Amino acid sequence: MLLTGAKLTVQLTSIAVFFGIILGTLTGIARLSKGPLRMLAAIYIDVIRGTPLLVQTFIVFYGLPSLIQRPIPAYVAAVLALSINSGAYVGEIVRSGIQSIDKGQWEAASSLGLSNYQTMRHIILPQAFRRIIPPLGNEFIALLKDSSLVSVIALEELVRKGQIIIGRTFRPFEIWTAVALIFFVMTFTVSRLVDYLERRMTPHA
């Protein structure tokens, strides 16, 4: 049962980080733009980073249905809340990664006649991506652990499975220790994978 819950935990985290990277990339680029997009991106990042993920999950699962007049499945609510939360943090990671690229790269691209979009896509983002792999890995690990909060909406991920087993066996120490060990194995594996990718994409390291 715990391994089944762990599988759902990894699945939720992977999907949320996937959408979080897409949302975060757009948000990070918007933060570097001029005009209303920059302000909207800043508000989104500040609000999400300034409020607990637990509250965001409650808003999506309990609050949003009252506005759209229809219930939201727990799985969909969990993915949505985790993705929105991840997007805000990834947005700042992407912004800092882009800003770390030397301005001479922009000037060189401009002298070659490339548009801002072409420069961003073919020159800036590929270089920035190599630099943001470590913080992206940390974000995945953080979200993997924070995904335990979706147990409050009765989604049977790892922590919820542990609660169910404890309710049947009355052996909290053994079960929570097993849950902690499974989380450790998952986070340790991800951290080693991130280290491997960083070495592969940084030849001089």
* Fold entry, domain 2-201: MetI-like fold (1.10.3720)
* Structure tokens, 124: 């800036």
Closest CA to 109 of 202, 117, 25: 117
**pLDDT at residue 75 in the model:** 96
Q: pLDDT for 139-174, tens place per residue?
A: 999 999 999 999 999 899 999 999 999 999 999 999
- Residues of the chain predicted below pLDDT 50: 205
Exposed e or buried b for every residue in 173-182, given b needs 16+ CB within 10 A? Answer: eebeebbeeb
* Structure tokens, 11: 């699945």
**pLDDT at residue 202 in the model:** 67
Q: pLDDT for 17-30, tens place per residue?
A: 999 999 999 999 99
Calpha distance 102→44 (Å, rounded): 27
**pLDDT at residue 204 in the model:** 54
**pLDDT at residue 81 in the model:** 97
* Domain ranges (residues) in the chain: 2-201
Helices 125-146 and 74-99 meet at what angle, rounded to 10?
140
Kindly report the pTM of this predicted structure.
Answer: 0.91
**pLDDT at residue 107 in the model:** 87
